[in-house]
Amino acid sequence: MGMLCIANGNYLATIDYIGNFNASSLNIRPGNLINCLEERDDYVIFGSQRADESEEGHIWSWLVTAQNYVQKKKIPIKGVNAMIDTELMLLQGGDNGELFYSDFVNKVPIAAIPGGGKVNPGGVTINNDLAAFGFYGGDYPGIWEYGRRHKNRPQSLNYSYRLAKTVAGSSVSTLGAIAVVNGEMIASWGTTDGSTSEYGVDSSSSTTKAFARYESLEFDAKVPHITKVFDTVKLRMSPLPSGASVSILWKADKMTTGGDSSAGAGWRYAVFGDGATTYSTANAVECIAKISDDMIGYEVAVELNPTSNSSPEILAITTYFKDMKQKYA
């Protein structure tokens, strides 16, 4: 585009190559405030919120040679906080963790972060072809990623990186910006615990894998009116690295109490054939654990316990029902 563009209230300010500054190259009319900017082809794309705090935001497009904006699209959220252009044109708006897709024709809500939250304008980047969002202000602060890496795979939302302060039990009050530098994810953060505030930067490691946990959505075999006997769960894996291990967990009917204290509210560990709750046989490519309980629906989780820079890789999770008469709820 040949210009530096700066959000300036309801104006878009610019600085050209020879240093000419214009504080109001574009006016998006009183009542709209520009929050974030993105470059898309030859256009400047920016997201806004209403100054009156109404439940709506907008995205706009502008060519630097145009006297007015080119396109405008209303988004049904309380302001557009951040935007990123990957395979999809994505934005985050409001403070309930909502992600939207919009190409100035469509506007589609695609996902919401459990527990809510929001993203700062600089809290977006691209990591391994995926859109990465630095969320804060909700129950699960950290870096979430959305997208896919292969054409025939479904789009998915993953909680990819927790911050070190979150793991240590601190309350993350803000996540300022994220970036990928030399293949490593970097995030700036702030915490407030009582009267003490701290600020810092986290970086992912290319030499040490972290503990990870996958949690599924609820599965009821498309018959939520029938109680079923969930019998066993089988994992299909890449050869399990020596020293690494996996554990399988399950939760019945959205329970939030009980379970194993170390597993999380409502979660229980499935048991392998030797009576253990972890499986660590080197080079194994599958394992089976026992559940054997009556449920209408269940959620399954897998804990991945790495060793140094080697981590288990799960290829498939299969649930088996016990062959017996079904019970109607």
131 and 220 in a single domain? The answer is no
pLDDT along the chain (329 residues), means of 10: 84 89 89 91 91 88 88 91 92 93 89 92 93 93 91 88 84 91 91 81 86 86 85 94 94 83 84 92 94 87 91 92 60
Residue ending a domain, among 203, 220, 242, is: 203
In a 3-state reduction of DSSP, which class is residue 40? strand
95 and 56 in a single domain? The answer is yes
Its domain, for residue 273, covers: 212-328
185 and 132 in a single domain? The answer is yes
pLDDT at 323: 67
198 and 217 in a single domain? The answer is no
Residue ending a domain, among 203, 220, 255, is: 203
168 and 217 in a single domain? The answer is no
Q: Are 123 and 82 in contact (CB under 8 A)?
A: yes
CATH of the domain at 79: 2.120.10.30
31 and 166 in a single domain? The answer is yes
pLDDT at 327: 52
Q: What DSSP state is assigned to residue 150?
A: S
Full-model pTM:
0.81
12 and 83 in a single domain? The answer is yes
CATH of the domain at 226: 2.60.120
233 and 120 in a single domain? The answer is no
273 and 185 in a single domain? The answer is no
Residue ending a domain, among 143, 172, 203, is: 203
Q: How far apart are alpha carbons 204 and 186 in whole angstroms?
A: 7
Residue appearing with tokens 């705090």: 53
Q: Are 129 and 165 in contact (CB under 8 A)?
A: no
Instruction: Please state the domain count of the chain.
Output: 2
